[in-house]
Amino acid sequence: MKNLELKNIVKSYGKNNVLNDISISINSGEFLVLVGPSGCGKSTLLRSIAGLDLPTSGSIIIDDRDVTKAPIAQREIAMVFQNYALYPHMTVYDNMAFSLKIKSRPKAEIEERIKEIASLLQINELLHRKPKELSGGQRQRVSLGRALAKRSPIILFDEPLSNLDAHLRQQMRIEIKKIHEIYKSTIVYVTHDQTEAMTMGDRIAILNKGNIIQVDTPSEIYKNPRNEFVARFIGSPEINLIEGKFKDSIFSTKGTKFTFPEMKYSEKISTLGIRPEDIKISDSGEQATIRFIENLGSTLLLYVDYHDVQLRIITGTAEYKIGSKINFSLNFDNIIYFDQSGERIVNA
Amino acid sequence: MIKKITSSIVILLACLFSIVPVLYVLSVSLRGDNAFGAKTLKIVTSTSNFDNYVKLFTETSFLTWLYNSLLVSFVVTLLGVTLAATSGYSLSRHKFKGKQFLLFSILTTQMFPATMLMLPFFIILSKLHLINNFLGLIIIYSSTALPFCIWQMKGYFDTIPKELEEAAKVDGCTNFQTFYKIILPMSLPALVITGLFSFMSSWSEYLVAAITLQDPALYTLPLGLKSFQSSLSTQWGLYAAGALIVSIPVVVLFIIISKFLVSGLTVGSVKG
């Protein structure tokens, strides 16, 4: 376990800035998830931490030691790659033992450690196989095992589950969390999948266009997103964003209006953020027409037209038909307010 | 069924096409009359014997030529594989000024026909006092084979995913360890081809050897075999026996290395 601190990291390719002044402090034993859309710079940031890319400026501090320009081997970091990156000419055992052999660790220690990790990851049977004889899920387990065998205080994950199917992804999510609980390593985990971010991270750092937009716990980010981008990126199904203007307690939007319980709201409010689960289907209330229905198994996602406003509503699995009318009401307590520039207004 | 029969016939014809000349040379080597032509199609006749083979090893300098050829070819192969692997890796992985120019310069050297280079080679070797010296021959063989080998190795290294090197570095490897512990073992097919190409280019080469080596004690096999031909007659029996023996190392080499000539050594390393 070690602290990891990134100070004013900038990475440029020519005139193109991929990372803009990134500063973040990751506590010892913390599981931090870097999440953002493709091209936001999250993998570049991870590679900078690993030493695979050198930042243009800024510093990377591991336990008060500046490792910005230190060789990769001196950083005591392990990494799990998106594409597994297993050595094809070696067996699973040799893949996992490779870093220890490079460090000339005693054979008995290597064997003991590999056996322990193989049992943990349930890959004992695969130790003598070559990577080409493994399935995608097994390869990613081996890749994880290789990182664990190093016993590094910091482990970096670069979208490790993105090549796996939904079932395996869920299984591996649980296993990675379990491993974190056992070894208490400091983890930096890159993903573009907000479900992974929400379920795995102690904290989430949201990146967009090379900037850190918000760093907070998953629930705080969900409840109090800093801006419209975060609100839209975190949460599935996506949040409803309705543009309009308040006058007293009336919010006017495309051809209709919502009446709010309080008498006065800030005139700066230009967008309402309403999570799909905060719109309740009721016997009374506003009337909307169902345009499309997505069956999510335990719930239904309804796409409804309320005048010219299109809303997403999460509801139970009752019978609904496309084109039929429903009544709904808003949970006003959970509505998030944004100003013209897309920033959240705290005291609306 | 018809498709299977057709392909069998085609394969049979191809085999005959390849093997008939060899059988003909074998037939000539077993005859005692040093004749090139024969009145019969039989490979082994009642007069066939191994006299030419015995004579080749006992009455000629064949063993010396064999040793000379093996020595030159071995050094050229070793140099070719080592230099092509290291240069190919640098050209594949590292960015440096003039890389593109260097790559095309290497390629340009392949555009000159060997005959055009004979005179400059001879002049350079004379000035370096490397005529009648294996080193001169080795330098020329290596320099003519290397450009192709470098491009070949570079092409192969380009196909190896960079993530594997990154994983090795994260695992604590130095640049050199990454190269010989991870990259080289994965490049076996390309190394084998490069080695074979280097070996072949020197093993059966005649023209350069003829201008470089004038001392019969330094003759390589092609020069030695040519010496069976005089202005008035040619010892076809000895020539054929020698030619067959010369081909043996190449055949053996092909058989040994064929198991390495498999594609897909990187299968399973990264998500395809």
The reply to whether residue B161 touches residue A83, judged by beta carbons under 8 angstroms, is yes
Shortest Cα distance, chain A CAs vs residue B102, angstroms = 24
The answer to whether residue B237 scores a pLDDT higher than 90 is: no
The answer to whether residue B36 scores a pLDDT higher than 90 is: no
**DSSP 8-class letter at A74:** G
**Parallel, antiparallel or unpaired: strands A31-35 and A203-208:** parallel
* Confidence band of A8 (pLDDT split at 50, 70, 90): very high
Distance CA A284, CA A329 (A): 8
Strand, coil or helix: A216: strand
Q: Which of A103-107, B47-51, B133-137, B263-267 has the lowest mean pLDDT?
A: B263-267
- Quick one: pLDDT at residue B267? 58
The chain B residue lying nearest A72, using CA atoms, is B170
Chain A residues in contact with B266 (beta carbon < 8 A): 88
Mean pLDDT of chain A: 91
CATH 2.40.50.140 domain range(s) in chain A: 240-345
Closest to A190 in 3D by CA, of A35, A58, A81: A35
Chain B interface test: which of A67, A82, A89, A135 (most B C-beta within 10 Å): A89
- Quick one: pLDDT at residue A76? 87
The yes or no reply on domain A4-233 and CATH 3.40.50.300 is yes
pLDDT in tens, B60-81: 899 999 999 999 999 999 999 9
The answer to whether residue B233 scores a pLDDT higher than 80 is: no
**Interface A:B, Cβ pairs < 8 A:** 82
- Quick one: pLDDT at residue A1? 65
pLDDT in tens, B72-125: 999 999 999 999 999 999 999 999 999 999 999 988 888 888 788 889 989 999
DSSP string across chain B: -HHHHHHHHHHHHHHHHHHHHHHHHHHHHH-SS--S--S---SS-TT--SHHHHHHHHTSSHHHHHHHHHHHHHHHHHHHHHHHHHHHHHHHH---TTHHHHHHHHHHGGGS-HHHHHHHHHHHHHHTT-TT-HHHHHHHHHHHHHHHHHHHHHHHHHHS-HHHHHHHHHTT--HHHIIIIIIHHHTHHHHHHHHHHHHHHHHT--HHHHHH--SGGG--HHHHHHTTB-SS-B-HHHHHHHHHHHHHHHHHHHHHHGGG--S-TTTTTS--
CB B31 within 8 A of CB B47: yes
Q: Which residue in A78, A87, A88 is closest to B267 by CB distance?
A: A88
- Quick one: pLDDT at residue A131? 94
What would the two tokens of residue B82 be?
A: 């080592």
Closest to A34 in 3D by CA, of A168, A142, A156: A156
Strand, coil or helix: A118: helix
The chain B residue lying nearest A146, using CA atoms, is B171
Report, as an integer, the average pLDDT of A254-258: 84
Distance CA A233, CA A244 (A): 21
With a cut of 0.95, is the ipTM above it?
no
Distance CA B69, CA A16 (A): 58
* Confidence band of A167 (pLDDT split at 50, 70, 90): confident
Shortest Cα distance, chain A CAs vs residue B271, angstroms = 5
Identity at A134, one-letter amino acid code: L
- State the pTM of this model: 0.83
* Confidence band of A318 (pLDDT split at 50, 70, 90): confident
The answer to whether residue A348 scores a pLDDT higher than 70 is: no
Helix B236-257 vs helix B2-30: crossing angle, to nearest 10: 140
Strand, coil or helix: A189: strand
Closest to A331 in 3D by CA, of A268, A294, A264, A276: A276
Strand, coil or helix: A208: strand
pLDDT in tens, A274-301: 999 999 998 888 899 999 999 988 899 9
Mean pLDDT of chain B: 88
Q: Which of A70-79, A123-132, B161-170, B248-257 has the lowest mean pLDDT?
A: B248-257
Burial of A175 (0-12, 13-18, 19+ CB in 10 A): middle
Region of A235 on the Ramachandran plot (φ > 0 left; ψ -120 to 50 alpha; else beta) = left
- The CATH number of the structural domain formed by A240-345 is 2.40.50.140
The answer to whether residue B272 scores a pLDDT higher than 60 is: no
pLDDT in tens, A211-233: 999 999 999 999 999 999 999 99
Closest to B65 in 3D by CA, of B270, B253, B239, B272: B239
CATH 3.40.50.300 domain range(s) in chain A: 4-233
**CB-facing half-sphere around the CA of A164: CA atoms within 13 A:** 23
Shortest Cα distance, chain B CAs vs residue A78, angstroms = 6
Strand, coil or helix: A237: coil
